[in-house]
Structure formats: structure tokens, C-alpha cells
Amino acid sequence: MSDFNRRIFMKGAAATAGFALAAPFVSRGAFAQGSSGTVNIFAWAGYISDEMLAAFEKDTGIKAVYTPYGTNDELLNQMRASKGTGYDIIWPAVDRVPNYVEFGLVQPIDESKVKWDRVLKSALTGSETLGAVVGGKRYQVPTDWGTEALTFDKSDFPLVYGTASYGDLWKPEAAGKATVRGHSGLVGLGLWLEAQGKLPHPMRDSFKDEATMRANYDVIIAEAIARKANIAQFWSNENEAQGAFRTNGAKIGQTWDSSAAGLIKEGLPVGFVAPSEGALAWMEGVSLPVGAVNLDQAYAFLNWMLTPEAGALYANHTSINTTAIGADQHLSEASKNFFAAAYPGDALEKLWWWPVQDNWFVALRNEYQDKFLSA
């Protein structure tokens, strides 16, 4: 195992999440055999490759039908419209899982059907406080984690870890050159303002109650609107984030790790690095809609995703980190290099994990996002 991969699994994530990504071991005899049928998967666009679909069917005998979506809100709206039917697996961010529980859209995980020894124990423990467990019941099994941080043009807007900051997006020299997602761009701006002592409350407290949220966001939105000329394009999904760099003049952006990795694979001269305030970190995983009909096949897919081989297929394809124990031993050199460049030094200890985003918070954050977009 490379020094970097040993470090990423040994040290792992920020103390604010209450867990670290612990050292892996390889799980043997991983794949299920002799099954059949179909499993309908509703997952993020770009998450499941043709190679993964073929490998899953070969290993289990089950045919997976994959339908992509672009945002957490798109997934939630679709599930609300269908009353939790139409799919056997969905893939929400863990901090949004309580939204689905509140609306009665997902069912508790049958823990007797999950191969728990395949999952990083620290990810399981951490997911309990990040949203996977509600009312004492688990509604998601974590399969992956990643970040939203700084994507930059190496020639026109070079950034270096230690000095790179969310504030780089808002400097005068970034005028007309930046891209952000509306609501998370405000969070990054808030973390920059917090570091300067310009927020009335800690940024994390914004997720606790409406009064605190509004007090912070009134400061953030005023700053965002004053600096809006820096934004070349807003993005809401991966294609839009990448398009900002491909065709719309962006030289710096706050994007997902997978967005930057895709541009790098295309040969664009971009880099991706955690800012000094901490990369926005999220965890995701498999949840089961209340209307899932192919449950045995759904659990087979979940357990397959947690094997070292499948976890590595996923990580190599997306450049998002897997929670599958032993997957690091199967990572490509390109994936290892990307992770090492993104999270040097103490970046993993400084990750800023998304708190649970309750429905009241989502409604208010969208209100402020709309003010930003329409200003």
C-alpha cells in the first residue's frame, strides 16, 4: 500500500464527524453466486459504469438497470412524486436521509442481510451521526464519500494547498472566472467569512435553528451579491460544473471531486485541492425505497458494492472514495495520484462534514440561493 493510501485509510476524516477512516483489510470470498432477477437502481449520473454493470451481472447473475439523476433535490422530488416506488435502490447523500424518513419514502435496512465486515467500521459509526440512523433505525449503508473543494486552471489560476482558500473564488482577480453551485457556494463563502471573524455565529450552528441560520446567511448573502460579478456560470449538476471550464471561461470553481477528475481525464490542465477552511465532505450510500420490490437483489447489489473489487471499480471510475475495505489495493495509479494531490498535508483532518440538512434548513437555504441567483 502506498504511503498516501495508508494515511488516507488510517487517519481519514475530520474530528467534527466523530470518526476516522480506519485501516482496511481484504475481505475474501466476497461475491454472491447463484442469484437471478433484476434490480432497478436510481443513482447519481456518472456513478455506475458499463464495466460495473457487466461485472455485477457476471458475479451475481442479476441484471442491474441504472437510471441517473443529477441532484439530491431531483431524487427527493422524484421519490415524493412516486411515493417511494419505481426503484429498488436510491443513493442519497447521508445528510439528506432524514428528509426521506420524514416523508415516509424509505424503509429501515434489514441489518441481517448486510455484509457488515466489508464496510469501514469508522464510516458506519460516523454515518450514525451524519443522518443514516433516524429514531434508532438505520436507513442507509454508506458506500462512498467525497468532497466539494477547489477546481482550478493550473496555468491561469494556480492554487497551492495551505494558501488555497474559498476566498480565492471571490477575489477581484477572479472576476468573471469563477463557478459555484448556488447553495453550497454560500456555505464555502460562509466558511471564508467565519475564518475572518465576520459571522455572528459559527457556520455549523446555521444548521441548528432558523434564527441562527438567518443571522449567518444574511451576512453571507450580502457578501455574495456584492461579489456576484465573479461568477461566470452557476452549476447544479456535474455536466454544468464541467461545462463551465470546458466552454464558459471558468478558471476557478467550487466543484465536486468527480467533476474535476473528469476534466483531468479529458486532458484539461486543471487541478483539485482542499481549501484551508476544509473541503466540504459528504457521505453517500444505498437506501431502499418503501416501494422496492426486488429486495433480495437490492441487498445483493449493496453487498457487491462493498467488495474490494467493486469498490475499486467505483473509485477508479468516479474518483470518489469508497467505504469498501481493501479497495485501496485495487486503485489505479491515476486515482491514487488524484487523491494525493487533492488532500495533501493535514487536509483529511480538516474535512468539513455536512451536518444533517433538515427539511426546514433545505427550504431556507433554497430561499437564500434563489436570492443569490436572481440578484
Residues 177, 156 share a domain: yes
Burial 300-321 (b: 16+ CB within 10 A, else e): bbbbbbbbbbbbbbbbbbbbbb
* CATH at 128: 3.40.190.10
Please say whether the beta carbons of 130 and 351 come within 8 A. Answer: no
Residues 267, 211 share a domain: yes
Q: How many domains does the chain have?
A: 2
Mean pLDDT by runs of 10 across the 375 residues of the chain is 36 40 34 68 96 97 97 96 98 96 98 97 92 97 97 96 98 97 98 98 98 98 98 96 96 97 95 97 97 97 97 94 94 93 94 95 97 97
Q: ∠ CA(82), CA(87), CA(88), 5° rounding?
A: 135
Please, what sign has the CA dihedral across residues 85, 86, 88, 91? negative
pLDDT of residue 25: 30
Residues 114, 152 share a domain: no
Q: Domain range for residue 178?
A: 148-279+358-374
E strand segments, the chain:
38-44, 63-69, 89-90, 106-107, 133-134, 137-138, 141-153, 178-181, 231-235, 252-256, 270-273, 280-286, 288-289, 321-322, 352-353
Please say whether the beta carbons of 273 and 161 come within 8 A. Answer: yes
Please say whether the beta carbons of 104 and 133 come within 8 A. Answer: no
Secondary structure class of 348 (helix, strand, coil): coil
User: How many other β-carbons are positioned within 10 Å of the β-carbon of residue 218?
Assistant: 11
Residues 139, 96 share a domain: yes
pLDDT of residue 322: 95
Residues 345, 275 share a domain: no
pLDDT of residue 35: 55
Q: Are strands 231-235 and 178-181 parallel, antiparallel or unpaired?
A: parallel
pLDDT of residue 244: 97
How far apart are the C-alpha atoms of 369 and 225, rounded to whole Å?
11
Residues 288, 329 share a domain: yes
Residues 348, 307 share a domain: yes
Residues 40, 11 share a domain: yes
- Please name the residues in contact with 33: beta carbons below 8 A apart, sequence gap of 6 or more: 59, 60, 61
Residues 311, 168 share a domain: no
Q: What is the DSSP letter of 234?
A: E
User: How many other β-carbons are positioned within 10 Å of the β-carbon of residue 206?
Assistant: 25
Please say whether the beta carbons of 153 and 263 come within 8 A. Answer: no
Q: What is the DSSP letter of 354?
A: P
Please say whether the beta carbons of 334 and 110 come within 8 A. Answer: no
How far apart are the C-alpha atoms of 145 and 148, rounded to whole Å?
11
Residues 362, 257 share a domain: yes
Residues 191, 264 share a domain: yes
How far apart are the C-alpha atoms of 301 and 147, rounded to whole Å?
24
Residues 285, 275 share a domain: no
pLDDT of residue 36: 72
Amino acid letter, 353:
W
